[in-house]
Chain A
Amino acid sequence: MANGLVIAASASLGDSLFLIVTFILLLLLVKHFAWGPVIKMMDDRAKKISDDLDGAATSRQQAEKMAAQRQSELKNSKSEALQIVNTAKENGEKRRQEILTAAQNDAAAVKVKARNDAEQARTEALNSARQDVAQISVDIAEKMIGKELNAADQKDLIDSYIKGLTTADETR
């Protein structure tokens, strides 16, 4: 008990006060010079890391989107090229058909015209020959008979004769 009293008597309350004041000062100083900046740096680092991760995810997404877009564009251009080639082929075919048709038409027209011409020439030649033959026959008959026939009668006679010839000719 006496010993306890000695301890109590020798206890110096000033130390406690001194410790509290010093400790609070230490808290303030450490907070200002070390804790604040270090914690700020640690928080910044944590924030930066999470930001970087987010950024990486975003840019990867973007890259994937762009790749998909490029892929679809490539597919489109392929089909477009195919279409162009097909159109060209079709056009060529059409053109060929047109030229062919035109040529055929031309050829047919030329043929028809030539036939018509030939027919006309033949008819004309036949007509003129018929007239000539009639004239010649009349002349010969005049000469041979020496008798002046009525020209109209003669002509009728010869025409009927020639008609008989031509029918005979056609039937043959």
Chain B
Amino acid sequence: MESKYQYLTFLGLRFNLANCLSILITAGLVFFFVFVLSRKLTLKPGKRQNVLEYLIDFTNGIVKSIMPGDEGKPFYFYIFVLFTFILFSNMLGLFFQVRVGGFTFTKSPTADPMVTMPLAMVTLLMSHYFSVQKFGFKGYLSNYVHPVGFLLPINLIEEFTNFLTLSLRLYGNIYAGEVLIGLLIMVAQSMGLVSAIIAAPMTMIWQGFSVFIGAIQAYVFSILSCVYFSRKLEREE
């Protein structure tokens, strides 16, 4: 199972065309979805508004389950967009894989560590930013030696492990799902019609399971982001 990508080089940076396209498509889909649902807003919500408000309540609930008070308010919007974006990108590779001439053009953008890492980076940078905003820069730094000084190296290492686990967990789950779908497709193509008939239900089952995994991973990513936010916003005494 190998997938080849086309690369563009621009200003010395390498761009994976498949990732960029998928990110664009995902972002477009998220925006389109949210945009369509938020038309004709009324005090008495209609069907589409209800769907959107349910989704918003759900993501707000994620934040509230970690930060029940007012301190969670600045994160409601970020978690909403993060959750929908990751959910959509996880789903994209399951339904929409385009391969032309051996080159993959669309897939789940989250099946690449170079995509999940900046997502985790954004979350962690935000947590540091809000921590500095709340405690001041000195207070923020002193949080690394709380509750006792010798925990400083552990606290520092934790920042990196947080970053790596957050990004690689998402990447690993989605990438594994895509690899398995690719393998099943190879099986289907290996021996003509017979293998295709055998592989079709297996693919369907695995796709269904991947939908489940994709939703769970989006939820886990959101809830862990909230956990990191809340940890940076409280002082361990």
Contact = CB atoms under 8 A, between A and B. Distances in A.
Interface in B57-81: 77-78, 80-81
Contacts of A39: 56
A34 B52 contact: yes
A18 B56 contact: no
Interface string A7-42: 000011111111110110111011101110111011
Interface residues of B, number: 41
B115 interface: yes
A38 B16 CA distance: 36
A34 B27 CA distance: 14
Chain B CB within 10 Å — which of A14, A15, A35, A42 has the most? A15
Given A23-B122, A27-B78, A38-B38, A16 B52 contact: no
A85 B222 CA distance: 83
B11 to A, nearest CB: 9
Name the prevailing secondary structure of the B interface residues: helix
B15 A12 contact: yes
Name the prevailing secondary structure of the A interface residues: helix
Given A23-B119, A27-B78, A13 B30 contact: no
Interface in B17-51: 19-20, 23-24, 27, 30-31, 34-35, 37-38, 41-43, 45, 49
Nearest to A7: B113
Interface of A: 11-20, 22-23, 25-27, 29-31, 33-35, 37-39, 41-42, 44-45, 48
